[in-house]
Homo-oligomer: A and B are copies of this chain.
Amino acid sequence: VSTRKITPLSGFPEFLPGDRLVELQVIDALRTRFELHGFSSVETRAVEPVERLTDKGEDADNEIYALSRLTASDEHDEARLGLHFDLTVPFARYVLENAGKLTFPFRRYQIQKAWRGERPQDGRYREFCQADIDVVAAGELPLHYESELPLVVMDALAELPLPRYAIHTSNRKIAEGFYAGLGLTDVVGVLRIVDKLDKIGPDGVRARLLDAGATPAQADACLALAEIRTADASFVDAVRSLGVSNETLEEGLRELAAVVTTCARARPGTLVADLRIARGLDYYTGTVYEILLSDYPDYPAIGSGGRYDRLASDGKTSYPGIGLSVGVTRLVAKLLAEGLIAISRPTPTCVVVAVSDEDARADALALAARLRARGIATEVSPTAAKFGRQIRYADRRGIPYVWFAGAGSDGRDQVKDIRSGDQVEADADTWRPPDADLLPRLVPGLGPTEPTTT
């Protein structure tokens, strides 16, 4: 094995340590905000029985990775398993499985990998990390969560150096009620066609709608609906002006207006009503969201979610939920590629303790422990090479300080800031680096490192 050629696997991104530190700090920032909002961490297993994963969306089936034992003898005893393709389906199953032990409404966050065997392309990965928040109720789920969840995500994203973004929001009931009011019967079919607006354009959508049996007037009305986009509740009048009347439509308009109005009051301009948003996955039943980077219109959504009323039900009780998911891998990959974010140093280490000879290593380890006891990340030099080489070891890693035991007057220790070259006396029980040096920090990046193509 050891000499086989190594090639990266397309769609399975891996970061070098510095970029991984960026990803980790993004995850930490999201997690910290989610916890401040009272969301509990849940982690579900990576696998589900295959039949639980299928039928969740048009394209889901052929994107599912199924598992098999390499040399299986007892496979007939076991349910066929597949890797989850999102965190909502496993979470709904977790809620059903543990309903008696959870308290509702249940607020949970989940930051985990998911897998989809789709064709890798810009922003689309086969393995990716998502950060989800969901609220699930037993029985009734109040509408106000449809405003609260995007506000939580806005709060979390405010911790990060993001370019401009917007949460594009619609409500399935608007499109479904509107299509039904128009006299179209295959509402889900129409929804799927209109969902392709970004990919195939208005003419493509129009042609497919006509193929599916819509009249030209119906197709035009569908397109007119999809073009409505407002940052306030004025979308309601815009929809009404299209002259379609339907009870489900009215319910959707009321619900979406409440979300838009509440969010506009709390964080003006970040959430927009965008009636082209449908979301491909079948399980959404009400409000749906897509988080888009405003300056990169061709980049896929960095987050999405919606309300699902029928995903989890045990026959007696149903557990309606609403969730929003941040695509961590997709977001971080873009921030890195555009050079919008970087890390102040690619290693946690703040101090390297120099070693004058191997006999002094035990003392160096003890000294390092004193620095660590006060939260200063410290390692001991790998070799007792010349001090110049030990300094170079630190320098190549971006480690700011090298510690020399007994190098000062009367055998006091000294610490060198290898950036400035300043070397001063220091005591391992009291010395502290400046705050900016204590831990690696997210810093602005240096601009694009590769061509931004789509």
Tell me if A325 counts as interface (CB < 8 A to partner B).
no
Given contacts A67-B67, A70-B82, contact A17 B42 (CB under 8 A): yes
Q: How many Å lie between the Cα of A108 and that of B131 in the bound state?
A: 24
Q: Classify chain A: how many residues form its interface, as a range.
A: 35 or more
Question: What residues on B are CB-neighbors of A37 within 8 Å?
Answer: 372, 377-379
Question: What residues on B are CB-neighbors of A38 within 8 Å?
Answer: 347-349, 352, 377-379
Q: Which of A56, A265, A311, A382 has the most CB of B within 10 A?
A: A382
B79 and A69 contact, CB distance less than 8 A: no
Tell me if A298 counts as interface (CB < 8 A to partner B).
no
Question: What residues on B are CB-neighbors of A198 within 8 Å?
Answer: none
Q: Which chain A residues numbered 5 to 57 have a C-beta less than 8 Å away from chain B?
A: 6, 8-9, 12-17, 20-21, 23-24, 35-47, 49-52, 54-56
A2 and B312 contact, CB distance less than 8 A: yes
Q: How many Å lie between the Cα of A79 and that of B5 in the bound state?
A: 13
Tell me if A162 counts as interface (CB < 8 A to partner B).
no
Interface-side segment among A92-100, A242-250, A425-433:
A92-100
Question: What residues on B are CB-neighbors of A42 within 8 Å?
Answer: 17, 20
Closest CB-CB distance, A8 to chain B, in whole Å?
A: 7
Tell me if A113 counts as interface (CB < 8 A to partner B).
yes
A2 and B313 contact, CB distance less than 8 A: yes
A35 and B377 contact, CB distance less than 8 A: yes
Tell me if A210 counts as interface (CB < 8 A to partner B).
no
Task: Name A64's contact: one of B24, B49, B70 (CB within 8 Å).
Answer: B70
Tell me if A412 counts as interface (CB < 8 A to partner B).
no
Q: Which chain A residues numbered 62 to 83 have a C-beta less than 8 Å away from chain B?
A: 62-73, 79, 81-83
Tell me if A221 counts as interface (CB < 8 A to partner B).
no
Question: What residues on B are CB-neighbors of A14 within 8 Å?
Answer: 43-45, 94
Residue numbers of A with Cβ under 8 A of B are 1-4, 6, 8-9, 12-17, 20-21, 23-24, 35-47, 49-52, 54-56, 61-73, 79, 81-83, 93-94, 96-98, 101-103, 105, 107-108, 113, 115, 117, 127, 137, 142, 144, 148, 151, 155, 262, 265-266, 310-315, 318, 346-349, 352, 358, 361-362, 365-366, 369, 372, 375-380, 382-383, 393, 396-397
Can you identify 29 A-B contacts, CB atoms within 8 angstroms? A1-B56, A2-B311, A2-B312, A4-B51, A4-B52, A9-B45, A12-B45, A14-B43, A14-B94, A16-B98, A16-B101, A17-B41, A37-B378, A38-B347, A38-B352, A38-B379, A40-B346, A45-B127, A46-B115, A46-B127, A62-B72, A62-B73, A66-B67, A69-B117, A103-B393, A137-B382, A142-B382, A142-B383, A155-B369
